[in-house]
Structure 1
Amino acid sequence: MSINEFSNNLSKYANPREYDESYKSYTADLDFIEAHLGERKQTIIELACGTGRLAIPLARQGHLVYGVDIHAGMLKYAQEKADEEGLNIHLSIQDCTQLNLPIKSNFIYMTGNSFQHFLTNESQDALLMSVKRHLNVKGEFIFDTRNPILHELSNVDLSEESIEQNGDITKVIHQEVYNPLTQILDCTSTYISSKNEYKDSIKLRYTYPLELKRLLQQHGFELINIHGSWKKEAFDANSISMVVHARLK
């Protein structure tokens, strides 16, 4: 497994503080996880934990959280936030396809559509094998991924916006191109100002519902449910998201 599949696909996360600020008000996934865990304090594992948007409030509630991410800058910022509150969170830089934690858990979760970073069948397989090694029997794995809506993906999406950065107006050109053979959406943003021009990009794999079911079954999981959102809306063909709830057999 080449780590470059992930390390070359991280430019969107170059500024952890800015990323954290952009998503700090989003709580639908946290609300779902909190309700699922209930009152009993548990040892839990978060994959692709980023800046600790979920890990920190869950640790604050008394859960023992092991969080992993491949991005050192995101984890550093998460640790700084945890330290400010005096919270004990076990954070480590790891590739989720090669997890090596000293514990097993009854619950592993991954949010933020991070599943789409696993671009190949091989990396999806390796992820599920890693999760399986760190779950107890009957342990649960919950994650989300965007639903592939073909009529939206088939068009090249080109848009522009203007944003203010450090007192300067920056024009941002966004382009999204989907490859139906690889099922990968290539998203590129070009930032143009009077001072400089630069790009960032991200590749996102889209996986179909029946693919997900087969993948889970292949690795010894039973599918409990697919929700259409973190608010537990019913999943249908037009759902933007798939929130997948699986249990190890």
Structure 2
Amino acid sequence: MNQNIFEKNLEKYADPEMYDHLYDKYQKDLGIILKWANQDHPILELACGTGRLTIPMAQRGFQMVGVDLHEGMLERARRKAEQTEVMIEFMQQDCTNLNLPVRSSLAFMTGNSFQHFLTNEAQDALFQSVRRHLVDGGIFIYDTRNPVLKELSAVDEYEEKYVDKNGDRVIESHRDVYDHLTQILDCRTHRRIYRDNTLIAEEQDGISLRYSFPQEMERLVAANGFEIVQVYGDWDENELHAESISMVYICRVKTE
């Protein structure tokens, strides 16, 4: 898999400290992960970012390996792990071509990172790569946004406001356009940063996100040597339905 495909889609992660400011306190996905975790093998977190889940897992005594493509995110994760006094092996690798010195009973990928795998080829390569690093009967947990068609059918333009890590006021203008043929949502952001009501900076970035449908997902999982154990509509373990926010998959490696 060409790593450049993913590197071109990492603009949103250019500032790991800001990423933490926005997302570090989110823990809804931790509960399900802990239900499937055990001490028998190292646990793999894929697209681990700044260690939002890797670190609290290690604090609970699990042997953790965190993998991400973005070295800046990994550097911050290593600093946070050191400050928290936990030992975690963080490695920079492409998740479609993992080469880790461990096999695990559990691998997980949250934060909708699955949507970075934009093509059928990339999705297949991800599953095959994960499967090679799981023991027989090993579990792979991941989430992805549910493709609610009424939300994707029209160009979506909206604003968000928040205070950044420096205490400055930020207004973001978003424009999201969905391509029904590729199933990819192209998200563009124009960011204006104000300090004491004075505009001090403007930034732009973007990200492309692949949407997959439930029937499509069932076929993908089965074709790559897994079976679906459970699927939820969110991290609160609610049933998946047409209007669900997410699709949370718990998959098991098929045994012969």
Question: Would the TM-score normalized by the shorter structure come out above 0.5?
Answer: yes
| 1:124-147 Cα distance to aligned partner (Å, 9 max, x none) | 011011001101111110100001
- CA distance in 2: counterparts of 1:190 and 1:109, whole angstroms: 32
Partner Cα distance (1:225, 1:83) in 2:
35
Give distance in 2, aligned partners of 1:30 and 1:164. Answer: 26
Structure 2 residue aligned with 1:27: 27
Letter in 2 for 1:117: H
Q: Which residue of 2 aligns with 1:236?
A: 241
Distance 1:213 1:169 in 2: 43
| TM-aligned CA deviation for residue 86 of structure 1 | 2.0
Alignment match, 2:100: 101
Query: Which consecutive residues of structure 1, in runs of 5 or more, have no partner in the other structure?
Result: none
CA contact (8 A) 2:40 2:105 kept: no
SS, match of residue 52 in structure 1: coil
The equivalent of 1:221 in structure 2 is: 226
**How high is the sequence identity, in percent, across the aligned residues?**
50
What residue is the counterpart of 1:209 in the other structure?
214
The 1:71–1:239 alpha-carbon spacing in structure 2 relative to 1, beyond 3 Å, is: same
Alpha carbons 1:9, 1:203 under 8 Å: kept:
yes
1:160: how far off?
Answer: 2.5
Q: Summarize deviations over 1:189-208 as a string: whole Å, max 9, x none.
A: 11235334320111000000
Describe the shift of the 1:33–1:160 C-alpha distance in structure 2 as closer, same or farther (beyond 3 A): same
Per the TM alignment, residue 246 of structure 1 is displaced from its structure 2 partner at its CA by 0.5
**One-letter amino acid matched to 2:28:** A
Normalising by structure 1, report the TM-score: 0.95
SS in 2 for 1:195: strand
Q: CA deviation at 1:21?
A: 1.9
Q: TM-score, normalised by structure 2?
A: 0.92
For 2:128 and 2:222, the matched residues in 1 are separated by: 12
More deviation in 234-243 or 17-26?
17-26
| d(CA) in 2 for partners of 1:161, 1:61 | 35
- SS of 1:132's equivalent in the other structure is helix
Gaps of 5+ in 2: 194-198
CA contact (8 A) 1:41 1:62 kept: no
- Residue 131 (structure 2) pairs with residue 132 (structure 1): yes
Q: Check the 8 A contact 2:191/2:202 in 1, yes or no.
A: yes
Number of residue-to-residue matches in the alignment: 248
User: Which shifted more, 79-88 or 68-77?
Assistant: 79-88
Shift, 1:41, TM fit: 5.8
After superposition, where does 1:147-162 map in structure 2 within 5 Å?
147-162=146-161
> How far apart are 1:36 and its partner, in Å?
2.4
Deviation at 1:167, TM superposition (A): 6.8
Distance 1:138 1:164, change over 3 A: closer
Tell me what 1:84 maps to. Answer: 83
Cα 1:239–1:168 change in 2 (3 A) is closer
State whether structure 2 residue 194 is matched by structure 1 residue 189: no
Asked if the contact 1:176–1:188 (Cα under 8 Å) also holds between the matched residues in 2, the reply is: yes
Q: Is the 8 A contact 2:36 2:106 kept in 1?
A: no
Aligned partner of 1:12 in structure 2 is 12
Separation (CA, whole Å) in 1 of partners of 2:68 and 2:33: 19
CA contact (8 A) 1:98 1:130 kept: yes
Provide the C-alpha distance between the structure 1 equivalents of 2:16 and 2:40, rounded to a whole number of angstroms: 29
Distance 1:231 1:162, change over 3 A: closer
* d(CA) in 2 for partners of 1:142, 1:163: 31
- Once residues 171 and 36 of structure 2 are traced to their aligned partners in structure 1, the CA distance between those partners, rounded to angstroms, is 42
Distance across 1 between alignment mates of 2:29 and 2:227: 21
Give me the whole-angstrom Cα distance separating, in 2, the residues matched to 1:177 and 1:141: 30
Shift of 1:31: 1.6
Give the conservation status (yes or no) of the 8 Å contact 1:143–1:243: yes
